[in-house]
């Protein structure tokens, strides 16, 4: 069994793959990271582990200690200039986030044509991957919940809104939720224009806010559960 880990800003996502298919996937909040030891205890024999960590060395060290307790080495990926069907044209390829690199590799594995690779979590990233597998660059913006939180935190009278989307909102909570959704969707659709003319181009959408964003996007779209795990699986198969 291969254990694959996506350690993000808020959650740890895990997947267990037996070489033929996923045997299990799950997630837990980093605020409850100690519970990962119980997850590991229930997974059975594990042959290898590979992960992408953007949560920092402290979190990585805690995860590594739990793995070491089971006799497993901790393997974290580093972005590279080229590999697994993707060429990374970042000015300094090593500065690309490990999660973005893994998501690009995952996108190439599940869709062999041009794509806008969107991960909608604590932050939203939208990365342009052309039909030849060349990562052309991308944008990072606050995620949907972070936008709402910033309005509640940094304004005097706006709440952390639990509203609903409306074309012409008539109450403050709806205005905030609708505005944040418009901002996310607008950025994604503008970025998609860069690949829209290429054959088979899709927006590949994943992340915690995917279900909220997908109904509002007006571009060719496919929702994928976790592109980072898909990319890590590709890296395990093609070392």
Q: Exposed/middle/buried for 224, CB within 10 Å: 0-12, 13-18, 19+?
A: buried
Q: Could you read off the pLDDT of 203-227 as tens digits, one per residue?
A: 999 999 999 999 999 999 999 989 9
Q: Could you read off the pLDDT of 169-201 as tens digits, one per residue?
A: 999 889 999 999 999 999 999 999 999 999 999
Global pTM reads 0.93
**pLDDT at position 28:** 95
β-bridge mates for residue 24, sequence order: 16
Ordered structural domains, the chain, with CATH: 2-76 (3.30.420.40), 113-225 (3.30.420.40)
β-bridge mates for residue 49, sequence order: 3
Inter-CA distances, 38 with 15, 67, 76, 222, Å: 15, 11, 21, 33
Asked if 99 is an active-site residue, the reply is: yes
**pLDDT at position 162:** 81
Q: Which of 99, 145, 162, 225 is catalytic?
A: 99
Given a contact cutoff of 8 angstroms between Cβ atoms, the answer to whether 68 and 74 are in contact is yes
Given a contact cutoff of 8 angstroms between Cβ atoms, the answer to whether 137 and 150 are in contact is no
């Amino acid at each position: 069994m291969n254990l694959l880990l996506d350690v993000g800003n808020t959650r740890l996502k895990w997947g267990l793959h037996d070489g033929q298919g996923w045997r299990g996937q799950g997630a837990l909040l980093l605020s409850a990271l100690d519970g990962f030891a119980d997850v590991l205890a229930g997974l059975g024999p594990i042959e290898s582990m590979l992960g992408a960590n953007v949560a920092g060395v402290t979190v990585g060290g805690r995860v590594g200690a739990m793995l070491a307790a089971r006799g497993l080495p901790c393997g974290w990926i580093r972005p590279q200039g080229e590999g697994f069907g993707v060429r990374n044209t970042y000015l300094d390829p090593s500065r690309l986030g490990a999660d973005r690199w893994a998501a690009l590799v995952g996108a190439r594995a599940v869709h062999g044509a041009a794509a806008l690779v969107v991960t909608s979590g604590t932050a939203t990233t939208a990365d342009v991957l052309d039909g030849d597998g060349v990562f052309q660059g991308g944008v990072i913006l606050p995620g949907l919940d972070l936008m709402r939180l910033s309005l509640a935190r940094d304004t005097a009278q706006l709440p952390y809104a639990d509203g609903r989307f409306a074309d012409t909102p008539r109450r403050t909570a709806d205005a905030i939720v609708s505005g944040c959704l418009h901002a996310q969707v607008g950025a994604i659709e503008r970025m998609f224009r860069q690949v829209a003319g290429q054959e088979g181009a899709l927006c590949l959408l994943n992340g915690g806010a995917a279900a909220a964003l997908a109904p509002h996007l007006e571009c060719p779209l496919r929702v994928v559960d976790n592109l980072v795990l898909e990319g890590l699986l590709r890296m395990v198969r093609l070392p």
